[in-house]
Chains A and B, each alone.
Chain A
Amino acid sequence: MGTTVLQSGSDVLTDVEGSEQGDLRTEEMLVNMGPQHPATHGVLRVVLRTDGEMVLESVPHIGYLHRCAEKIGENLQPFQYIPYTDRMDYLAGMNNNQAFSIAIEKLVGIEVPLRAQFIRVIFAELNRIASHLVAFGTYGLDMGAFTPFLYAFREREMILDLFESTCGARLTYSYITIGGVHDDLPDRFLEVLDEFLDYFEPKIDEYNQLLSFNHIFVKRTANVGVISADDAVRWALTGPVLRASGVNWDLRKSTPYEIYDRFDFDIPIGLPGGREGVPRSVVVGDSWNRHIVKVWEMRQSCRIIRQAMAQITDGPHIAAKVKNVKLPDDEVYVEIENPRGQLGFYVRGDGSSIPARVKVRGPSFCNISVLNHVGKGCLLADIPAIVGSIDIVMGECDR
């Protein structure tokens, strides 16, 4: 940011080295991208060592949004902690609520009613769509196309309307709670949802035409920041980043939680170029694949929602009163498939109603750690392309 370039705060910057190349002497430069920079999606700070436009090293620095979520988890009862999970991955609050609720339910042993599970699936998938829409739009923004961002937000507003009609909040829902969901669906909810899906599904193709298959966009993202499947697993990348590298791993399929085994859906994975309409310059694991996997996932989410709408049953929406529930002296580690990857909650009880330890495994935290490994030798303009395609949310990265 601006003149914060050489300002290092508490972080130590190494000296700039010069290198002799024939007659022309070039100097390497340390450039500080962030923590306030339009391309860093919040407050990520990347220290770049550049040689002209070439990036030799890109070291991510995080922690500018460290909000002590784990400390708070050790001081509050689980049901009080639900609102804080919203604020971790603030683009996918429903999924975060769901992960924490499942962890506590598993620890305590609460059976969730079937209707609540259906509602959870519907809302988790809707939020996945909303989150991917933001990722889609902001990725266009990173690439210099402003308009897709606003289209994505326009559609997202419709999903937020649905959320609002159900739980009253636009962003931080605290709707999915321990033992079920907080309220039952409002009247006519499913009709409006159906209308929305009818409206939204054709839009996916439209946006692909506008952005994803745009020639310039493909040129900018294809073969940029390639992560091999081996690397992806070794760095514990999850979610669309892992799947774009060609690894068919989605917790909804591989170890189904809730009732995901009842639905029929595909897992989009990264494809090499030249096949199935994929542009020729694309390789598995590049930024374009990371982008398009999210787009296809929106379609699969629509499929899941439609099936859930068809199968939903009547019944109670919450199991029982869960306030002041005693947590056993035990520990649990639960992961679910968040829009950005696998969100894990480690909860350890000690017999009281307040957990002894809550640990959050944020997918963004692991995903962004690979940046330096990937970003070596790319151009300066590729750094936004890589960071944007990894699609981080600093809230859960720093927690």
Chain B
Amino acid sequence: MTRMSVPWRPGGKQVHRGPAALVAGIAKALYATFAPLVRAFPGPLLIGAIVAVIVGVWINYLVFEFVDDSLVASSTNLAGETGLLGGPLALGEVRAGLTTSGVPGSGILCYVLYPLQYGVVRDVVSMGGILGFISVIPLYTIWWERKVAGRIQSRTGPMRVGGWHGWSQSMADGIKLICKEDLCPASADRPLFKLAPYLAFVPAILAFFALPFGTYWVFRQVDVALVFILAMLGIEVIGVILAGWASNNKWSVYGAMREACQMVSYEIPMGMALLIPIMVVGSLSLTTVGDTQSEGWTSWIVFRSPFTFAAAVAYFVAALANCKRAPFDLPESESELVAGFHTEYSGFRWSLFFFGEYAAMFVVSGLCVILFLGAWYSPLPMSLADRWGLGDSVGARAIKGLLFAGPLWFVAKCVFLLYVQIWIRWTLPRIRIDQVLYACIQVLLPLMMVLLLGHTLYELFVPVHGFVWTVFNLVLSLIGAVFVLGMIFIATYGFWNRVGLVGSLGVETLPGS
């Protein structure tokens, strides 16, 4: 490939003097060292980064648990010096507390743990974690969606950008979008036009602040977390309607109106579906709901009764509609409304809508996982850990975190649900608006009422762990297991046979080749 020669880029060296020379020298040396490495081993580096993130998350998990467990223990040992986290423990006291818990390396660890006893520090750390997570999740969901779509469509998807399977594709998209011209149509309502993307994006982030990733893994332990998250997801629609209105474009108005209809109607069955697990547990706190499902996959709420099973499916459908995913992507349906409510948006503002959408996808999947699919617990029952004699030592905690419970399980389940959403999107055609509303008001809403009533009666009259209850529980659990295993099998089969699926007739068999 011949490179174009561009006249205004001088071919000669740039001359730096003084401190600039030093900085330039360091930068060049670093670039010379790392650039070949990145080019040579993109795949291992990516996998290494993922492993590092997992290990980091896991270590972090340990740290948090230690701060909570050890410090609570030590502070009570120290005759109730002060409260749990506000209390200024001296460095020595932390070390003493750690030593009594038998932690190796407590001499160094105490310096790490000491600041963590302050609420502000903990908030800052977890805020950073959440913001990082929120920016990574949409980026990689988008890349992943493009790869999955490619695989479904017998092509490859992004391959070039970043080297290994286009893993940095979304980052490139992000850089490009940020650097795009910030357009605001002349006839648009300027302030509202600029406000709308934030109104769509910020609530999706706020929802993360009450979403628990594990028993200790929540930014703010809100007692009515479920209501809070639903409210935040509900605010998103205001941003979309504002966007449609302020753009001064008829397609945008169509998109916004569709979004309004769809959101307002689907929030009702969605909320009703979520009432059922709440009824089972008796708490609106998501951490409490999650912690009741620790005894293996048969204890997950989705398999508790036929009604919860149906409610989980209905919730997933309503959630698809709620975050505008196909086949309910009417607000932005490309073949009808050009791009729907974001027709006039470009660059960074448009990417905010996208981030908001993918963040909302993760939140609704997270709600589904917490309320129905066993939250952060693995299919293995927690009691197995006790039977294996795992204590509270570091190693035992590590095994517990990886095998039985932990944010990794939560994220893995969410990612599976995201995968299902992507799968549906690239398979099904789109529904018409009257059919969307029909499906909600005539089908889902009565269904949810029946389920709600049915489940109430079921809880009232069917004794827990009685014969009927157990049979239903086991049958539903088996159905669920077969379903998930089947999907995994299909995906794996498709992956291994990805060459064969393209078809037998290739270019090389043609005459004259």
Contact = CB atoms under 8 A, between A and B. Distances in A.
Interface of A: 1-3, 5, 29, 31, 37-39, 53, 140-147, 150-151, 154-155, 158, 161-162, 164-165, 186-189, 192, 195-196, 199, 210-211, 214, 216-217, 219-220, 379-384
A380 B330 CA distance: 11
B187 to A, nearest CB: 8
A31 B429 CA distance: 24
B435 interface: yes
Contacts of B39: none
A187 B333 CA distance: 48
B250 A5 contact: yes
Interface in B379-414: none
Closest 9 CB pairs of A and B: A144-B430, A143-B429, A145-B429, A150-B153, A186-B511, A39-B335, A188-B511, A381-B432, A142-B335
Interface of B: 149, 152-155, 185, 187, 248-251, 254, 326-327, 329-330, 333-336, 338, 343-344, 426-435, 502-505, 507, 509-513
Nearest to A36: B338
B434 A379 contact: yes
A378 B150 CA distance: 35
B430 A216 contact: yes
Q: Is the interface of A mostly helix, strand, loop or mixed?
A: helix
Contacts of B505: 158, 161, 192, 195-196, 199
A134 to B, nearest CB: 15
Contact of B510 (A145, A161, A199, A210): A161
Contacts of A195: 504-505, 509
Contacts of B429: 140, 143-145, 211, 214, 216-217, 220
Given A29-B250, A38-B334, A142-B335, A151 B432 contact: no
B497 to A, nearest CB: 15
Contacts of A196: 505
Contacts of B432: 219-220, 379, 381-382
Given A146-B149, A214-B429, A381-B336, 9 more contacts: A5-B249, A31-B251, A39-B336, A143-B430, A144-B327, A150-B154, A195-B505, A220-B435, A381-B330
A144 B326 contact: yes
A383 B254 CA distance: 15
Contacts of A145: 427-430
A380 B430 contact: no
20 contacts: A3-B187, A3-B248, A38-B334, A143-B430, A144-B333, A146-B153, A147-B149, A147-B153, A150-B155, A154-B503, A161-B510, A165-B510, A192-B505, A195-B504, A199-B504, A210-B427, A211-B429, A216-B327, A379-B432, A381-B432
Nearest to A53: B433
A275 B338 CA distance: 37
A147 B249 contact: no
A124 to B, nearest CB: 20
B247 to A, nearest CB: 9
Contact of A144 (B152, B250, B335, B344): B335
Contacts, number: 124
A214 B426 CA distance: 14
Given A2-B249, A53-B433, A38 B335 contact: yes
Given A154-B154, A216-B327, A220-B431, A384 B251 contact: no
Nearest to B435: A219
Contacts of B427: 145, 147, 210
B503 A38 contact: no
Nearest to A144: B430
A387 to B, nearest CB: 10
A376 B505 CA distance: 45
B431 A216 contact: yes
Nearest to A31: B250
- Interface-central residue, A2, A188, A196, A210, by most chain B CB under 10 Å: A2
A373 B145 CA distance: 41
A186 B249 contact: no
Nearest to A140: B429
B512 A165 contact: yes
A19 B153 CA distance: 48
A188 B428 CA distance: 40
Given A144-B327, A146-B426, A161-B507, A38 B338 contact: yes
Nearest to B502: A154
A189 B435 CA distance: 49
B98 to A, nearest CB: 56
A94 to B, nearest CB: 18
A219 B504 contact: no
Contacts of A142: 335
Given A38-B334, A158-B505, A189 B511 contact: yes
A192 B336 CA distance: 40
A187 B327 CA distance: 47
A382 B249 CA distance: 21
- Interface-central residue, B155, B435, B511, by most chain A CB under 10 Å: B511
- Interface-central residue, B426, B429, B431, by most chain A CB under 10 Å: B429
Contact of B433 (A31, A37, A140, A379): A379
Contact of A1 (B185, B338, B502, B512): B338
A192 B511 CA distance: 8
Contacts of A31: 250-251
Contacts of A216: 327, 428-431
A323 to B, nearest CB: 27
Contacts of B510: 161-162, 164-165, 192
A154 B509 CA distance: 16
B156 to A, nearest CB: 12
Contacts of A382: 432
Contacts of A5: 249-251
Contacts of B343: 2
A147 B426 contact: yes
Contacts of B155: 150
A384 B185 CA distance: 27
A187 B154 CA distance: 30
A384 B249 contact: no
A154 B430 CA distance: 22
A379 B333 CA distance: 14
Contacts of B335: 38-39, 141-144, 384
A199 B338 contact: no
Contacts of B428: 144-145, 214, 216
Contacts of A37: 338
A283 to B, nearest CB: 17
Contacts of B326: 144
A260 to B, nearest CB: 26
Nearest to A150: B153
Nearest to A153: B153
A216 B329 CA distance: 14
A201 to B, nearest CB: 13
Contacts of A186: 511-512
A151 B435 contact: no
Contacts of A38: 334-335, 338
Nearest to A186: B511
Contacts of A29: 250
Contacts of A140: 429
Contact of A2 (B254, B338, B433, B502): B338
Nearest to B434: A379
A140 B327 CA distance: 13
